[in-house]
Amino acid sequence: MLLSLLLSSFIGFSSTTAIKDTLNHTSVDFLAVGSSDSMNPFWTRSLQYGTVPVENPTGIIRARTGKWYHPKKDVDWTFRVETTGWLGKESKFLLSEAYVGLKKGAFEIWAGSKREVIGLGDTTLTGGFFIWSGNALPMPKVHIGTRNYVNLLQDWLGVNFQLAHGWFDNQGAIANSYLHQKSLYLRLGQPQSTLNVYLGYNHQAQWGGSRKDPKGSIYDVYPSDFNTFTKVLLGTGEGILPDDDENNKYGNHLGSLDMGLRYQNDFVEILLYRQNPYESDRIWSLNTIDDGLTGLSFKFKEAKIIEGFSLEYLYTGNQGTYQSILGKLLNKQDQDYPNMVNYFNVRGRDGWIFQGRGLGTPLIIMDQESQQGGGLSFSYNVLRSIYVGIRGTLAQQIHWMARLSSTSYDYPVIPANSPNSYLKQISASLSLQKQVNKRVGISIQLATDQGDRTKNTFGGTLGLKYSFR
């Protein structure tokens, strides 16, 4: 679900609905990126919506302009355009964001490429939501849904939903394939209640398209008519390619089942959340339910040295290679065993990527960004990862953020390898940001990687932002 990212709330996603001093905004960023190796540090390039390259050295220029929604108008429109240029080892021009939207009350429709994350959790300090993390360039879509939770039953029930149709790029083996995306999230309890329960799910599907290297068979073209769309929408029906489409359905289906519990008082908000990923129907047998992202987030309501921190544990060691404890307790049979889930990979189709970057959590590292090398696959997708994110404000209104992740990597196999043989990786970063005056802001980041999965490196960024209005 696309939950609007409000810096005053844990629950949500990127949004333009926050009240601004002015509705119109224009700014430009200048960023120098470098490191001791040919690859930029992990936390320098990750969760940047594809605007920071993997390789260095690089100079980055980002220019953006747009108009926010008027917070007091029932009907209004918005737009945003951002361009990004890379100068250095990899020179490139990117249209990194471009969309136009229209709102009516709590509902909106927009078209274009817009920055988003999908899932339930702390969007400001997460190490990356499982399915849609903000690691790749925004995908072009047509989107309709709510802008935040719509309150019902005297505000005791909140409903947030979205439905979107998108277009993948043509960089992989399949050309002209589509994205189907929908989600529904519920909030139990009033927004100001001491305790809230959150439940929801999101569903994505890669479908349609055709092979770039046709073999002269019926498998060269994936169905993309309206009848196929209805089956993709409902996740039903049999596809033509059992090797390509999980459980013989049309398209590569994936998403997460999410739940959360929020406690708040006058001083702090505490959010406990869980994202349970799925890439087939076997999630309903509960035999892969121990895979997923678990997080605990604290946000303090007064500005201080530490304003918030997030602890996350990401585990993907099941993948159908064994029966979960819950599955055993409930005597659930796994009809798909010994087939493995193999997160973010699918035979025949491209992986879960857009414009050469992973759409899901960046902690599942793409092969071509690793020491081991490779293409656009995610071979080492068996993870045990602990992540900590902290942010706060120092003297002179210097804002800081630190990230630290410790991850073990392996590939899915039956029987599973011993954790002692996993690749080990530690990545860390420290960022400082200062608004010098109303127009000028400066920033610096230092980051390092040490371990077996990504190249050992030390580097960071130095940035300047100028706002015209």
> Cβ of 213: how many Cβ atoms within 10 Å?
6
The tokens for 277 are: 């990923």
So what's the pLDDT on residue 244?
53
Q: Label the pairing between strands 353-354 and 157-167.
A: unpaired
| Contact call for residues 342 and 412 (beta carbons, < 8 A) | yes
Give the chain's domain count.
1
* Three-class secondary structure of residue 328 per DSSP: helix
Biggest alpha carbon–alpha carbon distance for the chain:
67
Q: Label the pairing between strands 13-14 and 4-5.
A: parallel
Per residue of the chain (469 residues), give pLDDT as tens: 333 332 233 333 333 333 444 699 999 999 999 999 889 999 999 999 999 999 887 899 999 999 999 999 999 999 999 999 999 877 899 999 999 999 999 999 999 999 999 999 999 999 999 999 999 999 999 999 999 999 999 999 999 999 999 999 987 778 899 999 999 999 999 999 999 999 999 999 999 888 888 877 767 888 888 988 998 998 876 655 545 555 557 888 899 999 999 999 999 999 999 999 998 777 788 888 999 999 999 999 988 899 999 999 999 999 888 877 787 787 777 777 777 889 998 876 778 999 999 999 999 999 999 999 888 899 999 999 999 999 999 999 999 999 999 999 999 888 888 888 899 999 999 999 999 999 999 999 999 999 999 999 999 999 999 999 7
What's the CA gap between 82 and 27, in Å, rounded? Answer: 9
Distances (CA, A) of 150 to 144, 145, 187: 14, 10, 9
So what's the pLDDT on residue 10?
33
DSSP for 152-185, written as a single string: ETTTTEEEEEEEEEEE--SSSSEES-EEEEEEEE
| Contact call for residues 209 and 174 (beta carbons, < 8 A) | yes
∠ CA 118-124-129, rounded to 5°: 35
| Contact call for residues 273 and 302 (beta carbons, < 8 A) | no
Question: If you search the block for the tokens 């002692």, which residue do you land on?
Answer: 420
> Cβ of 102: how many Cβ atoms within 10 Å?
14
Give pTM, 2 decimals: 0.90
Sign of the dihedral through C-alpha 163, 164, 165, 166 = negative
What's the CA gap between 303 and 392, in Å, rounded? Answer: 7
The tokens for 465 are: 């932002």
> In this structure, what CATH number is given to the domain that contains residue 230?
2.40.160.130
Name the residue range of residue 251's domain.
4-467
